[in-house]
Structure 1
């Protein structure tokens, strides 16, 4: 969600703060600001909209302080105006905040009765006034934060600077991520390692409930009970990634094109290429033979990766799978059986609902396994087993390469499960692993459809509604395709199981309705062709994504047929995801939307 940076520097920090905020743009934001401390004076610069507006403000009125905090805000309370932009401040303290303070109204009423004057609509401003209420009574900054934190209800990450305390930066987290960066005579706070990468590769992650007091030479971490604790100091690899667009117009385009490489890297972690056997990066603390049921939980695109994996586990390992979106799972309170397996999927590893679902499963004695792109994230740290993807930083808000890397991990895991349960023979495993090894090459071939897809996008951009259809593993991919189009082009789209067409959606079909049909030539292809005939009979404009044999057998006039490389159908979603993503991307480009940071969306949803 929001991005946080804090710096105790040896020189002016405003430019460094803005540079770090640029690295956090992928989280999504609608305003930005910085505050620095110069002598005994706290000063702020804030701006609505993109960081270029904040940079313009700083050129007009520079900040020279050596201590500062910065923030990119995604509006939750109050409109995305300059007045609601962070940092929020009193004469004595400035704060930036990622999260939601659920009890801000009662806190605000109490503080206003005590004389506090509020200038914004945000929940964050109550934090500044609450801490200030203790400062004006004579409390030290550490004492004031210590007294304020227990009164805040909700999820948050916070960074504070204080007037007359140029060598002090305080941070706290509950639910939302926050990391410490260690430098030489400098210290940092940031939402993630990417934000800190320009300054240091030595970091610590605060555990849930922790708060930290930093000076330029030291950092003291306290847990939720205010006891001093040590947290592991890690070497971050974030600085080794080039977080730029390279030769691409948007990060999303770059990340779509990176998929053959990063999916290949992920594949190499999970498969022994020489023996064509699955080789998981760590020994599992359970035996798949003893697993009676698998529960898969995730949000958004990750949930569709889980939906595809449901087909794989049930078909290859003959184990029943229950799939939930995390926001429903956590409140549905389903009955769970001790020692079964719960799988959690999250690109960031910080998704609030998924984390809550993980904790629920752990409390019921399930084995917990997470598939995440950030192995030092909260979900990873709290899981019994972590299977990381190797997608690298994904900057575009709409997930692309993280999705396909998740699928590669889940495919390898489903094969391992099938082998362990005796549902697959050695020959079966070899055949399936060989199919996985081909995926990066096939994805590269799928990228060759881009000129055809780009041309198609010009027509699709003129439509107001689109249907996506698929059967088997192509059904969840149809859901994902519809989501992608909605996310970045703002065109209404829906995904359906093709067999459901006659149960309602067929009423929408007319000559203005494009219907994207995802249909590799497989055991249900003929059934899908019959659905296409129903669409054609009503004048619907069919966009068919299939292979050469499917194109030859379809015998139905389509608006466009996108021919993908021949391959076994079971792992086809990883390859067919490429034109599905490209179609959404190029449609959004034609529409002129903000592809990398679509409106109202955030990369990592760290609050409900």
Structure 2
């Protein structure tokens, strides 16, 4: 969840470390710090809060040094204070860490008995003291790390500096991602290629259990058994340009408005527009007719994309689908039939729980297919098949364009499955693909509802509780809408299947509770109208999101009706996600929250 970077440079590295941390701030922004080697000692600069606080501190108190490490933190152990910020150091060693050391209490107690003094509440500080204990016993830096790593229980990516060793940096990974960057007379470490894109496009991804000894010209990689390992150097396609907000106030607003373009780019990758058919970018190594069951696993917003896809696979391809929250699935020890299909969805491709679920599915003999936005990520590298979304970098913590691009890929895959199984005819495929091809245009039209939604946000911002209702594929979108509002505005919201209203949630409805109903005019629309009458009878303030046909059929008063363009009903969630995102965004904006970096959250969840 944290971001780490290391540079063995030919010149001063402090500014470049901070530049790299800016690219990693989506991983955490509770505190930040850098450490450099200056003369014969390690010099640290750390600051609580956003990265700009560290920038200010470094400007006022510059640090020199041609070797350095940096960290931007999402707090796990210990509050987000300066003394808990990374790097953590002894007199001899400095460490930055992404992950969780599960046995840190035992190690801490042992090290204290031998005279170690701990200045923080973190689990990470034990790593510095543990390595230092081996150094004091006469070990070389390399041998000290080699002895320490097997004693660390949990997940970690580490970058380590040593006093007096200006040509040396050591990195290690277990569970958490770490990449080596290759420069000209320089070497780098980073949580991902994004952090290193402005430094190099030559990347080596460490595999789980690897550790690496770097000098300015070469990296020697060892596997978990201590054997020298060969890992491929790949050319990264990640842009070296630091993404900016353009003319938008927030990244989230920019990313919402980028959706017509990135959905179109993703569609072009999965649909043959000329022939009006699905054309997957690679041949699948299995026959959908042999698949008896699909398991979809993801977290958060990606999980709701999977929930929507469950309806599509079952309706279009007649394949039963089981949906799992990754953090539960990894411990459920679910029985799985060898040869079935498991789908994993993750924007970053580094989500720890989803990665663990992927590894379990592989151990059970399933075909594994991942849908990710970052092609070089761990989930992508370990999956049997990778289907990439072409959303581009998504900086806002609340996922928007990645979500709709995930839906586009899942829609194309569901159509391909239906066609392969004979559940869809050629004319059915053409009809569905025509709807998909229209989606970028329809999303552009949906964005035109923004002025109306901005006004509605004023009512939502006054509320303590908000309900979202939907049926069919609109039910998972109701869950997503509630999540969006919660995570960036801090207003309590809950999503429900509209048919479940009378089974409990209706108790919450009164004149102070807005009820947002997501209801395209489909075969379930009349049922949803009945639920709206139940809300209206109890004084609830209804905000209806529908199309012109739906708006014409509703006779009751609503607080507002947001009218979206008419479209085929199968893939409505891709378009109806737009007003849901806009409502959350404008409400949060009115509430004065940090829209792009909401409290307690991070973009890439690489710890359990």
TM range (shorter): over 0.9
Q: Unaligned regions of 5+ residues in structure 2, if any?
A: none
CA shift digits 1:536-595 (9 cap, x unpaired): 111100011000111111111110111101101110000000110010011000001111
Contact 1:71 1:87 in 2 (8 A): yes
Contact 1:348 1:377 in 2 (8 A): yes
What is the match of residue 169 of structure 2?
169
Shift of 1:242: 5.0
Shift of 1:258: 0.8
Separation in 2, partners of 1:273, 1:233: 36
Shift of 1:60: 1.9
What is the match of residue 573 of structure 2?
573
Contact 1:396 1:596 in 2 (8 A): yes
User: 1:466 aligned to 2:466?
Assistant: yes
What is the match of residue 332 of structure 1?
332
What is the match of residue 448 of structure 1?
448
CA shift digits 1:385-415 (9 cap, x unpaired): 1111111111111111111111000000000
Separation in 2, partners of 1:454, 1:222: 55
Separation in 2, partners of 1:57, 1:242: 22
The number of aligned residues is 608
What is the match of residue 345 of structure 1?
345
TM, length-normalised to structure 2: 0.99
Shift of 1:239: 2.0
What is the match of residue 354 of structure 2?
354
Distance change (3 Å), C-alpha of 1:36 and 1:241: closer
Shift of 1:241: 5.3
Structure 1 residue runs of 4+, over 4 Å off?
none
CA shift digits 1:306-338 (9 cap, x unpaired): 000000000000111111101111111111111
Shift of 1:240: 5.2
What is the match of residue 206 of structure 1?
206
The aligned runs of 1:51-450 (5 Å cut-off) are 51-239=51-239, 243-450=243-450
The aligned runs of 1:543-558 (5 Å cut-off) are 543-558=543-558
Contact 1:9 1:66 in 2 (8 A): yes
Separation in 2, partners of 1:466, 1:28: 28
CA shift digits 1:492-536 (9 cap, x unpaired): 000000001111111111110100000000001011011111111
Superposition RMSD on alpha carbons, in Å?
0.8
What SS is found at the alignment partner of 2:280?
coil
Separation in 1, partners of 2:399, 2:5: 24
Contact 2:198 2:240 in 1 (8 A): no
CA shift digits 1:461-520 (9 cap, x unpaired): 010000000000000000000000000000000000000111111111111010000000
What is the match of residue 17 of structure 2?
17
What is the match of residue 604 of structure 1?
604
User: 1:529 aligned to 2:550?
Assistant: no
What SS is found at the alignment partner of 1:260?
helix
Shift of 1:39: 1.9
What SS is found at the alignment partner of 1:165?
coil
Deviates more, 1:341-350 or 1:416-425: 341-350
Contact 2:23 2:242 in 1 (8 A): no
User: 1:37 aligned to 2:37?
Assistant: yes
Deviates more, 1:374-383 or 1:86-95: 374-383
Contact 2:474 2:573 in 1 (8 A): yes
Shift of 1:112: 0.5
Contact 1:27 1:603 in 2 (8 A): yes
Contact 1:241 1:392 in 2 (8 A): no
Q: Unaligned regions of 5+ residues in structure 1, if any?
A: none
What is the match of residue 481 of structure 2?
481
Separation in 2, partners of 1:483, 1:392: 22
Separation in 2, partners of 1:204, 1:401: 28
